[in-house]
Structure 1
Amino acid sequence: MIRVIDFLLALIGLCLLWPVLLIICLIGYFDTGSPVFFQQRVGKNRHLFTLIKFRTMPVDTQSVATHLVGKSSVTPLGGFLRKTKLDELPQLINVVKGDMSLVGPRPCLANQQDVIEAREIRNVFTARPGITGLAQIEDVDMSTPTRLAELDAKMLESLTVSLYFSYIVKTVLGAGTGDRV
């Protein structure tokens, strides 16, 4: 049921928001020269997939967790995109493809062993990763792997259709500040 809702909402979102995506791409081209960013992330059952996002840092920025990168690495446009969460919009493509859900644990990098281990213990990898979830609206990011994995597991154990929509609405309304840098 959730997969059908994911697919329909993501497809509707892409259809309605394509002008916004196009404008961000154009502005992003002048900001970094490469507005869209592709990165390998850990998905369901620890399978790697290619996550799609709008670029918020220069092209040559090291591929590490956001909290390990200096704040000066975020471009002015990137700061705006992160604050408004618009940098996440291209992930609607990942949702349509089935790599992700709208709601689920945020996908980590393959080199974030502390996050992977904490999630493995709590069976978090049994679910598709999501664009948003309980940890994101509670301002918990990958800089605190154990707390993140605990919230991810709690969310997955209690997730209902009602909570699913609640997490989406809270995210759209601005709950959570995004990844720390």
Structure 2
Amino acid sequence: MSSISHPASSAHGPVARERAAATHVTGESVARYAFAGVRLLLAFEFLWAFGDKLFGWGLSTPTDRAWINGGSPTEGFLGSIEGTFAGFFNPMAGNPVVDWLFMLGLLGIGLALALGIGMRIAAGTGAVLMLLMWMASLPIDVNPFVDYHLLDAVLLIGLAAFLAGDTAGLGRWWSERSLVKRFPALR
């Protein structure tokens, strides 16, 4: 009997290399779709907040305090801040300019994430919004530093850097538009 094994059965043979390559592609695909899933979940988070503040679906915003019924989308959250930055945020509560900026931000960020386009702008503005909401939440009751606002801010930046809009989204198509090629920040 020969002690020489067939190259295909060797741990370093062509079959082993093909299996390793297939595993890598599969792992990469899983990562791409996982990040696309996170992108869509965050889109739903932003769009739900927009819809609830606009229509008052009764979960976070009562119907009688909905924006279309004369309520303010910022009054409840910003008006009730008692923490470290209360003096900064409380005066903004109910301001019509702040209401419009907040609502346009929720809608724009949510739509961009859902479609996978404009991810850089959505990530930047979304991260700023989440960081402001994190600051407004300080001090945090259950953890001295981390809450979901901070995690969402970091996730948004990662999604844009990973080009998460290209998978299960229109990001790749969007990147081919002449305007986006001319202004890469729109990617």
TM-score higher than 0.5 = no
**TM-score for the superposition, normalised by structure 1:** 0.26
Judging by fraction of residues, say which structure has more strand.
Answer: 1
Q: Max radius of gyration: which structure? A: 2
